[in-house]
Each structure stands twice: as structure tokens, then as C-alpha cells.
């Protein structure tokens, strides 16, 4: 009786390893999309009676240059992560630069749009990719307490020293340092859970490790309480959802999703019941017609823009974004939907869904517990940002002030999202045999 030959250890390792990616992204089609969109945007501005200058071409030229350099660096560096992730990121950034350029000069807050935001964001992305690939991120595993302390410092500094404008807190130069929590908190939670994962695994919420549960719960209540004082309800929602996803992943128990959802619902009820700011937002969501020229104005104008867009949209340059308060940030989806219609919105949502799928692949590709948890946290954040922003515009949820990553205005938001994308590319970028 013949015995079956078993493959050698070397062959088994090679077979199990992720295949190398020869080309991280085909940039040709993305460049064609940018050029086509650029002609439509600039043509619409000329049709509206605006005189164009060489300066109007700079946003597109800088995007092309920085995107080509990024792709070349990924190729030279031997990128071997999720193959479609860089392409999806660049495609989303094309949509963002086209939307912001279309609104430049006609929407408050976009005059003289800072041209260096996009190239610098790609620099941060490349740096984050290089830092986190090959499991180099493991060096931060023991610094969870430091990242949590930094999160508290940022929030306390904003509460004490920040300037309030339209309900949000800003630092010097109009920056929003609270965006850093999108990086610090997942690193802090990943460090905490990676060291305690065996104690949490398989535990229902009725039987958590006592000391670790008190540490986690107390730290979370403190951080969220400070964010509530800052009136940053969007960040509370974002970080709480992220922690819920990470808890479910660590414990392998959906009971934590039930408890977390109940806790978030209870916290939301307390905020909207006892804080006037939250109550106004809830009332505007439930019945925007009760105060159509006040708290319900933005919601109604956003719905009006989406309705005007219909199936195919009014066409680029044919919408009226200037009628919508804060159109460039919270309600940029309404501007997009008005000019590109239901079809354009569906295409954007498909792009976002594909991007999130590629981000999730980074976690599944990496067997390292800490790096995988960081990827799960970042992916959950991005997913809830996309969902909550769009849901707020279409009145599925109350408006929370969460922006649409890579499309809404804002240097801090763009740079932090770039670092998040870079970390996700790096976490999923492993050599054969790793």
C-alpha cells in the first residue's frame, strides 16, 4: 500500500502565504476619471460666467502628481496588501477633490481651499503604511495606557482652551485636534485587549473579568463624559461603536453587542433629555417642520437638494449648494446627491462598501493579535463614519456632526483618514510566510 507524500514544511508555508501583488493599483482609469470630472467641473464654472485661471487647475495637478508618486512608492516598496485597497482609496479621493473643487468659490468655507492638504495627506498615508507593514506596529502594543492618556489630554485641552463655533470645538488655526482620537483610541483598546484577550475570550457580559471590566468601563465613561462636555456627540457615537465591534471580536460573543447597543441607546436618551443641544437635534430629526427656519432648516434643505436631484441629478454645476448651511462638511452628501442624483449616490455607496471590504481584509490577512485588532477598530470607525454621515443627511438618524471622510472639507479630518488608510494598507501588507 503506497503512502501519500506529504508536502515539505517549506512548500506548505509557501502555499499558505498570501500571493504577492504585482501592481498595487491601476492608476490609468482613475486618472481618466479625474480628467473627465475636471472638464465637467471647470466647464460648469465657465458656463456659470466664471473666468478661470491657471490657479484653478492646481488642485487637479497636485492630486495627479501626489497620487502617481504614492503609487510608485508602493510599487518600489513591494506592496503586498489587499490588492484593491489603494485603488479604492484613490478613487474616493478623486470624488473628494472633484466635489470640493466644484464648490470652491460658491460655498462658505471653501474659498481659497488649501492646496497642500491633499499631497500632505498622501505623505502621511505612505508614512503610516511603511510604519505598520511587516508587523512593525507591534512596537506600540505596550503603549496602550499612553495613547489613552493622550486622548484625555486632547479632549481636556479642547474643553479648556478650544474655541466654539457652530457647536463644535476648534483648536488654533481652525484645526480639530479631537480627530486624533480616531488614532489614539483604537491603539489604546488594541493594546488593552491584546494583553487581556485570553481573560475576555468566551466571556458573556454577565461574567466579564472583574478588574479589567472596571478599568475598561471607568476609562470609557471618563472619556465619553469629557466628549459630552465638549458637545462632540459624533465622536462619542463613533468611538462607542468601534469599541463594541472590538469587544465582540475579542470575546467571540454577540452578547456584548446587545449590551453595548443598550448602553449607547441609554446614553443617547440621557444626553438628548438633559442637554439642550442634544434635545434640539433630536427635535429637528423627529419633526424638522416644527421649526423650518431654525433647527430644522439644515435638515429640510438637505432633503430638498436630494429631492431636486431625482434619478440622474441636476448636473454638475447646476445645483444650489450655497443654500445649504455647512454644505462643505456635514451635508456634502446632499450637494453630491443633488447634482449626481440617485444613480450617483448608489455608485458612491457601492464604492464605500467596496472600500470597507478591502479594509476588513487587512485584519483577516494578519495573524498578529494587536495589529489585527487595530485594523478592526479602524475599519469599524470608517464604516460608521460613512453610515452616520449619510444617514444623518437622509434623516435615517439625527445629525451628529460626523463628516464624510475624504469628501467633506477639513484638513485635520483628511490627514487622519489618510493615516488610517495607510495603517490599514500596512497591517495587511505581509511578506510570504508571515
d(Cα 178, Cα 227) in Å, to the nearest integer?
9
Q: What's residue 218's pLDDT?
A: 92
pLDDT at 62 over 80: yes
Q: What's residue 345's pLDDT?
A: 94
Give the whole-number percent of the chain exceeding pLDDT 70.
85
Q: What's residue 110's pLDDT?
A: 44
Q: Which of 100, 123, 116 is nearest to 62 (CA)?
A: 116
d(Cα 385, Cα 69) in Å, to the nearest integer?
28
Q: What's residue 174's pLDDT?
A: 63
Q: Where are the domains of the chain?
A: 15-427
User: What band does 108 get if pLDDT is binned at 50, 70 and 90?
Assistant: very low
Residues 192/144, Cβ–Cβ less than 8 Å? yes
pLDDT at 371 over 50: yes
Residues 298/326, Cβ–Cβ less than 8 Å? yes
386 versus 275: the higher-pLDDT residue is 386
Residue whose cell numbers read 462632540: 232
**pLDDT tens figures, 298-332:** 788 888 888 888 898 888 878 887 777 777 778 88
pLDDT at 10 over 50: no
d(Cα 258, Cα 20) in Å, to the nearest integer?
40
Q: What's residue 19's pLDDT?
A: 43
Q: What's residue 278's pLDDT?
A: 66
User: What band does 106 get if pLDDT is binned at 50, 70 and 90?
Assistant: low
Which stretch of 41-45, 111-115, 325-329, 364-368 has the lowest confidence by average pLDDT?
Answer: 111-115
323 versus 111: the higher-pLDDT residue is 323
User: What band does 4 get if pLDDT is binned at 50, 70 and 90?
Assistant: very low
Q: What is the mean pLDDT of the chain?
A: 82
What is residue 172's DSSP assignment?
A: G
d(Cα 386, Cα 383) in Å, to the nearest integer?
5
d(Cα 101, Cα 105) in Å, to the nearest integer?
9
* Mean per-residue pLDDT, 8-17: 42
CB count in 10 Å sphere of residue 40 = 16
**92: which 3 cell numbers?**
474616493
**pLDDT tens figures, 137-151:** 888 999 999 999 999
Q: What's residue 14's pLDDT?
A: 37
Q: What's residue 88's pLDDT?
A: 92
**pLDDT tens figures, 328-337:** 778 889 889 9
**267: which 3 cell numbers?**
446614553
**pLDDT tens figures, 185-222:** 999 999 999 888 778 877 777 778 888 889 999 999 99
**pLDDT tens figures, 157-176:** 888 877 766 666 666 666 78
Residues 396/411, Cβ–Cβ less than 8 Å? no
d(Cα 54, Cα 60) in Å, to the nearest integer?
11
Residues 427/375, Cβ–Cβ less than 8 Å? yes
Alpha helices in 201-330 (DSSP H): 210-229, 233-251, 255-274, 276-286, 297-309
Q: Is 107 exposed, middle or buried (0-12, 13-18, 19+ CB in 10 A)?
A: buried
d(Cα 130, Cα 124) in Å, to the nearest integer?
10
Q: Which of 302, 276, 306 is nearest to 288 (CA)?
A: 302
Q: Which of 268, 214, 281 is nearest to 241 (CA)?
A: 268
Amino acid at each position: 500500500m503506497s503512502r501519500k507524500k506529504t508536502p515539505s514544511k517549506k512548500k506548505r508555508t509557501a502555499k499558505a502565504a498570501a500571493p504577492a501583488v504585482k501592481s498595487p493599483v491601476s492608476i490609468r482609469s482613475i486618472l481618466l476619471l479625474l480628467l473627465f470630472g475636471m472638464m465637467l467641473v471647470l466647464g460648469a464654472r465657465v458656463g456659470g460666467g466664471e473666468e478661470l485661471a491657471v490657479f484653478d487647475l492646481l488642485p487637479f495637478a497636485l492630486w495627479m502628481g501626489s497620487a502617481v508618486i504614492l503609487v510608485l512608492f508602493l510599487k518600489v516598496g513591494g506592496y503586498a496588501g489587499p490588492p484593491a485597497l489603494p485603488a479604492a482609496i484613490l478613487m474616493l479621493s478623486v470624488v473628494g477633490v472633484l466635489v470640493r473643487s466644484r464648490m470652491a468659490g460658491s460655498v462658505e468655507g471653501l474659498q481659497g481651499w488649501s492646496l497642500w492638504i491633499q499631497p500632505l495627506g498622501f505623505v502621511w498615508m505612505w508614512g503610516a503604511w511603511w510604519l505598520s507593514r511587516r508587523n512593525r506596529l507591534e512596537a506600540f502594543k505596550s503603549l496602550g495606557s499612553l495613547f489613552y492618556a493622550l486622548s484625555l489630554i486632547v479632549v481636556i485641552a479642547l474643553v479648556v482652551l478650544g474655541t466654539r463655533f457652530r457647536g463644535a470645538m476648534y483648536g488654533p488655526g481652525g484645526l480639530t485636534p479631537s480627530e486624533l482620537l480616531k488614532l489614539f483610541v483604537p491603539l489604546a483598546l488594541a493594546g488593552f485587549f491584546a494583553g487581556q484577550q485570553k481573560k475576555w475570550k468566551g466571556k458573556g457580559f454577565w461574567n466579564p473579568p472583574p478588574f479589567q471590566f472596571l478599568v475598561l468601563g471607568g476609562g470609557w465613561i471618563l472619556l465619553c463624559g469629557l466628549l459630552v462636555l465638549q458637545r462632540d456627540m459624533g465622536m462619542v457615537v463613533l468611538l462607542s461603536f468601534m469599541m463594541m465591534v472590538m469587544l465582540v471580536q475579542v470575546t467571540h460573543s454577540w452578547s456584548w453587542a446587545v449590551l453595548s447597543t443598550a448602553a449607547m441607546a441609554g446614553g443617547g436618551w440621557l444626553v438628548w433629555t438633559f442637554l439642550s443641544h442634544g434635545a434640539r437635534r433630536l427635535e429637528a430629526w423627529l419633526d424638522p417642520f416644527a421649526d423650518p427656519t431654525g433647527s430644522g432648516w439644515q435638515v429640510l434643505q438637505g432633503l430638498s437638494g436630494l429631492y431636486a436631484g431625482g434619478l440622474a441629478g441636476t448636473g454638475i454645476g447646476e445645483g444650489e449648494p450655497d443654500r445649504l448651511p455647512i454644505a462643505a462638511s456635514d451635508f456634502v452628501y446632499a450637494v453630491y446627491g443633488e447634482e449626481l442624483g440617485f444613480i450617483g449616490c448608489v455608485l458612491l455607496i457601492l464604492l464605500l462598501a467596496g472600500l470597507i471590504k478591502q479594509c476588513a481584509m487587512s485584519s483577516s490577512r494578519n495573524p498578529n493579535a494587536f495589529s489585527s485588532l487595530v485594523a478592526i477598530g479602524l475599519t469599524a470607525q470608517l464604516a460608521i463614519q460613512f453610515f452616520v454621515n449619510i444617514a444623518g443627511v437622509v434623516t435615517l438618524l439625527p445629525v451628529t456632526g460626523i463628516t464624510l471622510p475624504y469628501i467633506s472639507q477639513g484638513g485635520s479630518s483628511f490627514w487622519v483618514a489618510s493615516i488610517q488608510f495607510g495603517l490599514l494598507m500596512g497591517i495587511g501588507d505581509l511578506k510570504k510566510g508571515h
